[in-house]
């Protein structure tokens, strides 16, 4: 496993991060908590130290499962959680109804302080390593950025959090957060199929020593090579209809991706790795990219994803993969 700094925070974390959105449970998908705990243990045993969670993943459930899994292993883990998705009362800006809950986006200091206490309790810890503003770009959020950052700086001063991050921001919003306090990381969507952030966020983070935590870098399993054209998704799995808005989920394009992966057989053989590991290693090798979050549901996935941290691609291999990636269009 390779480890890299989380920006200017003085914290180091594994380049492969374990994502825990799925183990929190989504809408009608009920997770298997025992397998989730085993998956987290397997990932930690394989060298992963970075675990990304959020209160909204299963409405507290993901944080509780992470808390259960890290009992007795606190010192081996860098916990990244989030604030800003609020469902306790009407404070914040309306953000729709999810799982029957009226959700708002709130980055007000009063709700952040409550969220931090709730997260500490659910995780069973007395500090959080990285606190990220979850939907820091969702309009209409009316808390001025300096107020939010000031609150997070106070929490850092108090030792309740060790570092501050944002998620889902534009370049302008990233700069504003950066100017308003100690910003250590930015979390955003980025994969070899969706590379817009190479134009703005990644160069800025590289220049200003801000760590990047990329999500959906596996495109919901598609870029592991294990979700081929024949895969039938459960009725409540959004991936079954994802072809309507994500071109790469269309059955014919899943086949084209399989053909693309077949062309990398010499690379997986040389590096003794899986397609998923090649994808993660490629993502982590991009300029500005430091940490890659991989959603992990099972022990097998935990071990597979962690293994990517040992794969180091040569510059010509990174370029070759980039040249080979087929253009499947843009999300609708
Ligand atoms: N900040 C944000 O707004 C935001 C948004 C989204 C995600 N995130 C974070 O980023 C993390 C990653 O995103 P994600 O979990 O949504 O998507 P992802 O990492 O692209 O995909 C995860 C899914 O891919 C499959 N998978 C993972 N590893 C695999 C392997 N080795 N072999 C085969 N299949 C594998 C699993 O699905 P199956 O087992 O069901 O096939 C898993 O649930 C999240 O868990 C969360 O922590 C943050």
pLDDT for position 140: 55
Q: Ligand 1: which residue has its CA nearest to atom 6?
A: 215
Residue 18's alpha-carbon distances to 169, 229, 274, 287, 303, in angstroms, are 21, 26, 17, 21, 11
> What pLDDT digit, counting tens, does each position of 117-170 carry?
999 999 999 999 999 999 877 655 679 999 999 999 999 999 999 999 999 999
Q: Check whether 29 has a pLDDT greater than 80.
A: no
Active centre residues (catalytic): 57
- Domain ranges for the chain, please list them: 3-224+273-324
pLDDT for position 27: 61
SS3 state at 221: coil
Residue 29's alpha-carbon distances to 3, 223, 237, in angstroms, are 33, 22, 8
Residues within a 6 A CB radius of ligand 1 = 19-22, 52, 134, 167-168, 187, 215-216, 218-221, 224, 226, 276, 293-297, 301, 304-305
Q: Check whether 330 has a pLDDT greater than 70.
A: yes
In the numeric block, which tokens belong to residue 93? 């800006």
pLDDT for position 138: 61
> What pLDDT digit, counting tens, does each position of 280-323 carry?
999 999 999 999 999 999 999 999 999 999 999 999 999 999 99
Give CATH superfamily name and number for 3-224+273-324: NADP-dependent oxidoreductase domain (3.20.20.100)
By CB atoms closer than 10 A (0-12, 13-18, 19+), residue 247 is middle
* 20 Cα–ligand 1 center, Å: 8
pLDDT for position 141: 63
Atom of ligand 1 nearest to the CA of 20: 45
Question: What's the predicted TM-score (pTM) here?
Answer: 0.97
pLDDT for position 139: 55
> What pLDDT digit, counting tens, does each position of 183-239 carry?
999 999 999 999 999 999 999 999 999 999 999 999 999 999 998 889 888 888 888
Q: Ligand 1: which residue has its CA nearest to atom 10?
A: 215
* Rounded Cα–Cα distance for residues 57 and 61 (Å): 7
> What pLDDT digit, counting tens, does each position of 245-285 carry?
899 999 999 999 999 999 999 999 999 999 999 999 999 99
> What pLDDT digit, counting tens, does each position of 87-129 carry?
999 999 998 998 889 999 999 999 999 999 999 999 999 999 9
> What pLDDT digit, counting tens, does each position of 197-211 carry?
999 999 999 999 999
Among 78, 235, 293, 331, residue to substitute to test ligand 1 (most atoms within 8 Å of Cβ)? 293
Q: Give the angle subtended at the CA of 19 by the CAs of 15 and 25, to the nearest 5°.
A: 175
Widest CA span of the chain, in angstroms? 55
Residue 297's alpha-carbon distances to 71, 177, 236, 246, in angstroms, are 19, 33, 16, 22
Q: Ligand 1: which residue has its CA nearest to atom 41?
A: 221
pLDDT for position 2: 98
Atom of ligand 1 nearest to the CA of 53: 47
pLDDT for position 28: 60
* Rounded Cα–Cα distance for residues 286 and 133 (Å): 24
Q: How confident is the model at residue 243 (pLDDT cuts 50, 70, 90)?
A: confident
SS3 state at 18: strand
């Amino acid at each position: 496993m390779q480890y890299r700094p989380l920006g200017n925070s003085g914290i180091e974390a594994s380049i492969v991060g374990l994502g825990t959105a799925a183990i929190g449970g989504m809408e009608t998908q009920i997770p298997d908590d025992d397998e989730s705990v085993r998956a987290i243990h397997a990932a930690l045993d394989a060298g992963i130290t970075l675990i990304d969670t959020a209160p909204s993943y299963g409405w507290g459930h993901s944080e509780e499962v992470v808390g259960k899994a890290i009992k007795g292993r606190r010192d081996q883990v860098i916990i990244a959680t989030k604030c800003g998705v609020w469902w306790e009362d009407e404070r914040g800006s309306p953000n729709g109804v999810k799982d029957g809950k009226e959700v708002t986006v709130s980055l007000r200091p009063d709700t952040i302080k409550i969220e931090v206490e709730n997260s500490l309790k659910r995780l069973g810890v007395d500090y959080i390593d990285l606190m990220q503003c979850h939907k820091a770009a969702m309009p209409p959020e009316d808390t001025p950025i300096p107020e939010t950052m000031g609150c997070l700086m106070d929490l850092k001063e108090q030792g309740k959090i060790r570092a501050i991050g944002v998620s889902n921001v534009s370049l302008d919003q990233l700069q504003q957060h950066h100017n308003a306090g100690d910003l250590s990381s930015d979390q955003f969507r980025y994969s070899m199929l969706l590379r817009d952030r190479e134009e703005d966020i990644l160069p800025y983070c590289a220049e200003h020593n801000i760590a990047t935590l990329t999500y959906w870098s596996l495109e919901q399993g598609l870029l592991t090579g294990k979700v081929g054209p024949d895969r039938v998704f459960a009725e409540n799995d959004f991936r079954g209809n994802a072809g309507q808005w994500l071109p790469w989920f269309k059955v014919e394009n899943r086949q084209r991706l399989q053909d693309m992966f077949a062309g990398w057989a010499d690379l997986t053989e040389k590096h003794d790795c899986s397609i998923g590991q090649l994808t993660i290693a490629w993502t982590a090798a991009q300029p500005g990219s430091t940490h890659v979050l991989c959603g992990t549901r099972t022990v097998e996935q935990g071990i597979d994803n962690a293994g990517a941290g040992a794969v180091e691609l040569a510059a010509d291999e990174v370029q070759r993969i980039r040249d080979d990636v087929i253009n499947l269009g843009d999300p609708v």
